[in-house]
Structure 1
Amino acid sequence: MERALYGPDGFFVSGAGPAAHFRTSVHASPVFAACMLRQLETVDAALGHPARLDVVDVGAGRGELLRALLSRAAPELAARLRPVAVERAPRPPDLPPEIDWRPDIPDGITGLLLATEWLDNVPVDVAVHTSDGWRLLLVNPKTGEETMGPPPSPTDTTWLTTWWPPTPTRGGERAEIGVGRDLAWAEAVGKVARGVALAVDYGHLRDSRPLDGTLTGYRGGRQVPPVPDGSCDVTAHVAMDSVASAGERVARCAYSLVSQREALRALGADGGRPPLSLASRDPAGYLRALAAASAAAELTDPAGLGGHLWLRQPVGVALDAVVAR
């Protein structure tokens, strides 16, 4: 999975980028960027409007979200912003010069660290529960053919016991081992000196893990088998409670874990249809409001992008000060 996504010819470092293959919240609608700007403004206020406000986008794609935030920010805020895109792909030639482009997360962040659909592409091993306990699943990187491998390491076995206990009534259950994601998120949170680390991703919780796991592939707008040959995105949903626990040990502060539907509605995207009376008073305004409502509805649909989970982990600021209500 590591080679398929981030190797020399990997999915995320070559070609046109994720937007050519699947829709994320960032690509789906400008409503998402508008809500993220409100989140950034909330963090800015909680920090007392510092002279430099960092906004670091981890897994930035081709910089789409940072471009949108820069274009929407008020002049006073834009003058203080230091936007940083963290991505392994080469810097896009048309990226605004104000955006720093780098392969790793900078230290000492004061502001907002964003990880929008990043953790689901942090590589995982897959384990299968058998009569002999957990066994690793091996895969041919060219054909996708699967074979049973050795038991997981003691560290991975401990993670499975704690965060993905097997269902007693069913054999052959699959699990995506989240140790690497926990470590990656803990490292990211540790880069924040003051502010908020925010992860947005498809995820699940301990009491409702999917029996067959979630590993899959995407290419050209279609779901495809997750063959790790570099031709498709290979992704799996995130054990968000495990990730949150890892971040909490670093931040030493309470966290917030809610659905995207709840988070975006609190930030002003309710998806409600505008009143019909507006159509007679202001037809053009009604059409604009209807388009915005439709975009917000896609982002908040619990069967789609609204099913994302938002994990906010504040560092050095109060949780209540950075969570819109």
Structure 2
Amino acid sequence: MGDANGRHWRTWRAATEEALYGAEGFFRTQAPAAHFRTSVHVSPAFAAALLRLARTVGARTVVDVGAGRGELLRALHDLDPDLGLVGIEVAERPAGLPASVRWSADLPDEVDGLLVANEWLDNIAVDVAELDDARVTRLVEVDAATGDERLGAPAGEEDLAWLAEWWPLTDGPPGARAEIGRPRDLAWADVVRRLRSGLALAVDYGHVRWRRPPAGTLRGYRSGRPVAPVPDRSCDITAHVAVDAVARAGERAGADETLLTSQRAALTALGVDGARPPLALAGSDPVGYLGALSRAGEAAELVAPGGLGDFWWLAQAKAGSAGTGAVDLCQALGEPDPPTALSPSPSGRMPPSG
């Protein structure tokens, strides 16, 4: 029901879920690459690095959660047609996807291999909490048509418990805000529980408890530009991920090993090199030099400080029940080197090329 002014107030979580994943939602009707780029779109070196990771951990299947229009799956198929590939996405199967690639709206019951969630967690809808003048933590409500906000009911017990553990507001001033990451923790725990053996990898922009942003990170994104986060189905709505909370949820769900590091450190360990080719090559092979220079530029963007290089990689492994050994994450991805930046960019998203 609307109020006397015809506004329909809902919590941010309810409004965002409908705007992104409802029958006419953004991710069902829009091609994400038209609005933002992920590492998959920046360079084929990202897919090549994930293939190296899969081979390092002995995975013969890669599950792509939040698969968009299948860009990562196509790239992996081109690199290794024998690799088992599964895309998980609410949108219909993209035209032209290789026939061997499986496509589903639902996670498989069990996963043996490498599961990748590249910029998936940031799009799991969350509620926004705000401390009012009486120092009561209340849920923020939004009018989906305009993006206007008001304070709603006090947060419930489960949300208050999550905030107390991961994003305390009670020591802040009135108006301090937090995004309640509990739905993301639950979603990731569900992923880890389905992992029978192998590795689950989340790649996203985020923060940890000691560097939570006091005003929150809720953003909208449309056609490569940050816009007001209005949950009217016209734009991507995203918020940065409390990666330490997600990591703990994975451990509670049975992960045997955890590594939190930066994309820069992980991709470097996987052989991504943004160094320019030797200038002498320009004289002996100009065309080859230009191609190598282009590839180096793409690779450099993947690991750039202040950009994609400051994304978080959360890797959690399980040893197989059939006697397979545990995954050595430090051997696969190098020593932990967490990002030093609060976030890779004001919006978190990379604009589409062109």
Q: What is the TM-score normalised by the length of structure 1?
A: 0.92
1:1-325 equivalent positions in 2, closer than 5 A = 1-15=16-30, 17-44=31-58, 53-73=60-80, 78-79=81-82, 81-130=83-132, 131-166=134-169, 168=171, 170-316=173-319, 317-320=326-329, 323-325=332-334
Structure 2 gaps of 5+ residues are 1-15, 320-325, 335-354
Letter of the aligned partner of 2:309 in structure 1? Answer: G
Alignment partner of 1:3: what SS?
helix
- Decide whether the 8 Å contact of 1:6 with 1:13 is kept in 2: yes
Partners in 2 of 1:90 and 1:252 — Cα distance? 31
Q: Distance in 2 between matches of 1:116 and 1:168?
A: 33
- Following superposition, the deviation at residue 322 of structure 1 comes to 6.0
User: Which residue is 2:344 aligned to?
Assistant: none
Shift of 1:270: 2.6
One-letter amino acid of the structure 1 residue matched with residue 92 of structure 2? P
1:288-313 Cα deviation digits (max 9, x unpaired): 22111110111111211112100100
The one-letter code sitting in structure 1 at the alignment partner of 2:168 is P
Contact (CA 8 Å) 1:255, 1:319: kept in 2 or not? no
Distance 2:311 2:51 in 1: 18
CA distance in 2, matches of 1:187, 1:169: 32
Contact 1:251–1:314 (8 Å) recurs in 2: no
Q: Give the AA of the match of 2:93.
A: R
Match of residue 50 from structure 1: none
* Two-structure CA RMSD over aligned residues (Å): 1.5
Q: Flag the 1:167–1:307 CA change in 2: closer, same or farther, 3 A.
A: farther
Could you list the runs of 4 or more consecutive aligned residues of structure 1 that deviate by over 4 angstroms after TM superposition? none
Post-superposition Cα deviations, 1:108-129, rounded to whole Å, max 9, x if no partner, equal 2111011000000011000112
Residue 279 (structure 1) shift: 2.6
Contact 1:57 1:85 (C-alpha < 8 Å) held by counterparts:
yes
Deviation at 1:94, TM superposition (A): 1.7
Report sequence identity in percent.
55
Q: Per the alignment, in what secondary structure is the counterpart of residue 101 of structure 1?
A: strand
Q: TM-score, normalised by structure 2?
A: 0.85
CA distance in 2 between counterparts of 1:170 and 1:224 reads: 27
Whether the 8 Å contact between 1:185 and 1:243 is mirrored in structure 2 is yes
Q: Is the partner of 1:214 in helix, strand or coil?
A: coil
> What 5-or-longer segments of structure 1 have no aligned partner?
48-52
AA aligned opposite 1:254: E
Residue by residue, what CA displacement relative to the aligned partner does 1:169-215 show, whole Å, maximum 9, x if unpaired?
A: 54312111000000000001111111000000011001001111110
* Cα contact 1:274–1:293 (8 A) shared by 2: yes
Conserved in 2, the CA contact under 8 Å of 1:26 and 1:64?
yes
| Number of positions where the alignment pairs a residue of Structure 1 with one of Structure 2 | 312
